[in-house]
Structure 1
Amino acid sequence: MSAFKHIRCRVRGKFFSEVILDLSNCKTCLVNNLPLSDRHLKSILHAILALFAFSKLLMQKNLPDTQLKGCNKREINNSDIMTVTKFNNRLVTPELREALSDYPLYSQDAKGKDALCIAVFHLGNIRWYIMEGQPEGDDFTLYGIVVGLHETEYGYMSASEMADVTYDASKYGLGLLKIEQDMSFKSCALREVKDKELQSFLSRLYDEN
């Protein structure tokens, strides 16, 4: 995910200092993965990224009221204004787009294990369980849980970037692999998904608190 899209989801509802701390502790943050040994320099870069994200959101909050029609107070304060443009992506099928139209970003907040999983994408042993999504500019932003990487976690995903991901598995006789949707999956609550790694993550997150 691009640097701005990565931090955009961490800005909403937080103070500037909280965003910087959040970025500094995030393993997938672009800055933290740069070959830099100087912590002070990294802190400066985190601050620049946070300032950029805040300025973008403030600009969008100052849009004319007519563009905010239909948005509730939480959506206006905490989310980007959804812009619908022509969009073509092999992962966002008409069926998936229609299914997600009832579940835009933030629509399933606080549902925990009862949140409805709309779709599943996979690449090898990596699984993306999608609960929310909506078009944003010339992209489509998805929200869900990623399982099978170093760490299972909730996150925002760019459909455009996901569609471009490839893995050359020719040496295993599998050719070029791409992220694909599991077309056999039927929407259900997260607690009902038959994935031990996902259920273990959900239990740690919700049952032990």
Structure 2
Amino acid sequence: MSDYKMPRPPKDTPPLYAQDGKGYEATVYAHYFIGNCDWLITEYDPEEDRAFGWACVGDRDRAELGYLFLFELEQVRVRGVFLVDYEIGWQRVTLTEAIAELDRKQGWTR
């Protein structure tokens, strides 16, 4: 295992459940990605290193909202080498807007 330390969401990311009820109008504070896999983070608990957001792990039709531990995402390796990356300079938008942009970039039609 490497010493790779993936950046965490910004300090002002809302805590878990803070955007509850907003659905796809919740604000995305961080974007993690590797290949055609994306994680859009809307809430984060730094003590547990647990986040909530939208995940698409290669199959757009199976993308979903849910919880994840960032320390687990940090351990993902593709072909034993490539690491999950963090989009520096992420511009905050709603989940709806972020997903639409990913759809456009990946060539997915909805």
Q: TM-score, normalised by structure 2?
A: 0.77
Structure 2 gaps, min length 5? none
Bigger share in strand? 2
How high is the sequence identity, in percent, across the aligned residues?
24
Are positions 1:146 and 2:52 aligned together? no
Q: Secondary structure at the match of 1:142?
A: strand
C-alpha contact (below 8 Å) 1:191/1:199 kept by paired residues: no
Give 1:177 shift.
0.6
* Alpha carbons of structure 1 residues 125 and 97: separation in structure 2 relative to 1, 3 Å: same
Equivalenced residues, count: 99
C-alpha contact (below 8 Å) 1:116/1:187 kept by paired residues: yes
Task: State the match for 1:164 in structure 2.
Answer: 75
Give 1:155 shift.
1.3
Task: State the match for 1:120 in structure 2.
Answer: 31
Q: Secondary structure at the match of 1:128?
A: strand
Task: State the match for 1:38 in structure 2.
Answer: none
Residues 142-193 of structure 1, C-alpha deviations (whole Å, 9 max, x = no match): 1100014341011111111111111117xxxxxx110011114211112222
Are positions 1:91 and 2:7 aligned together? yes
> Aligned match of 1:195 in 79, 86, 102?
102
Bigger share in helix? 1
- Equivalent AA in structure 1 for residue 51 of structure 2: L
For the aligned residue pairs, the C-alpha RMSD in angstroms reads: 2.2
C-alpha contact (below 8 Å) 2:10/2:30 kept by paired residues: no
Task: State the match for 1:183 in structure 2.
Answer: 88
Give 1:199 shift.
9.1
- Distance of 1:183 and 1:98 partners within structure 2: 14
Structure 1 gaps, min length 5? 1-88, 170-175, 201-209
Match runs of 1:57-76 below 5 Å: none
Q: Secondary structure at the match of 1:183?
A: coil
